[in-house]
Amino acid sequence: MASTRVLVLEDDDGIRMALRMALEDAGYLVVECARAEEALRAVEEEPVDLMLVDLMLGGIDGFTFISRVRSTTHAPIVVVSAREGTGDIVNALEVGADDYVTKPFVVEEVQARLKALLRRPSIAEPETGRDRTERVRLSDGADPLVMDLAAATVSRGGQRIHLTKTEYRLLEVLTANAGRVLPRRTLLERVWEHGFYGDERLVDVHVRRLRSKIEPHPSEPQLLITVRGLGYRLDLP
């Protein structure tokens, strides 16, 4: 835990200080920033493992920050914001956030979500104890979609597909249960690991994002199927 670096991007001094003190007490190394411009420079200079991001900021807003930083890092992003409208939450998830907490919040809830995100497999490093040749073929054709469970990567025709930790974990859970319908609540519990707090919109938005990356025609999915009124199913060839 001592090596885990968390970026806290929050322009309210009181909230930022409270988060910093609570996270440091829990053993995290905290990088705090009040402006997105400052945070972008900080992440570029030294990568972080997790990010807590407010949406309403002076200058570059939280949405833009998430969109920019997501193109360069897989680090999980949790939005912490007073904006709790469906549109704001969905927009934040669409541009790359993994989870969200609305203000006012309980620090223990934020910590629980961070711990759940950290437990997910790394997208960059292989998992120990697994056969490095363990692969799952997700599609047929000349350029098949392949999931490498040892390296925690997904590729099509040998070209790596950029997935966030949440997107990878979602695909991993669906693949492990291929052919079975998994309700949204089940996916919340297995992917986000805090279903008590979770919102089913998290699942829908991340399914759309995942489809945009793995389906040749996302509007007509052939791999990740919606079963109306029940949930989602992954169909292997």
220 assigned to some structural domain: yes
Q: Kindly report which listed range (32-36, 71-75, 160-164, 192-196) carries the lowest average pLDDT score.
A: 192-196
* CA–CA dist 5, 44 (Å, integer): 13
Residue 72 DSSP label: T
Q: What integer pLDDT is reported at residue 150 of this predicted model? A: 83
102 assigned to some structural domain: yes
Task: Give strand ranges (E) for 2-158.
Answer: 5-9, 29-33, 50-53, 77-81, 99-102, 135-137, 145-148, 153-156
Q: What integer pLDDT is reported at residue 131 of this predicted model? A: 45
126 assigned to some structural domain: no
- pTM of the predicted model, to two decimals? 0.73
* CA–CA dist 236, 21 (Å, integer): 47
55 assigned to some structural domain: yes
127 assigned to some structural domain: no
Within this chain, do residues 55 and 103 fall inside the same structural domain, yes or no? yes
Within this chain, do residues 141 and 198 fall inside the same structural domain, yes or no? yes
- The whole domain housing 217 covers 135-234
* CA–CA dist 56, 46 (Å, integer): 24
Q: Kindly report which listed range (81-85, 183-187, 202-206, 209-213) carries the lowest average pLDDT score.
A: 81-85
pLDDT digits (tens, 9 = 90+) for 46-99: 999 999 999 988 889 999 999 999 888 888 899 988 876 667 778 888 888 888
Which pair of tokens denotes residue 47?
A: 């990568």
Within this chain, do residues 211 and 110 fall inside the same structural domain, yes or no? no
Within this chain, do residues 33 and 83 fall inside the same structural domain, yes or no? yes
More confidently predicted of 143 and 198: 143
| pLDDT confidence band for 132 (50 / 70 / 90) | very low
Q: How far is CA 197 from CA 106, 188, 236, in A?
A: 11, 9, 31
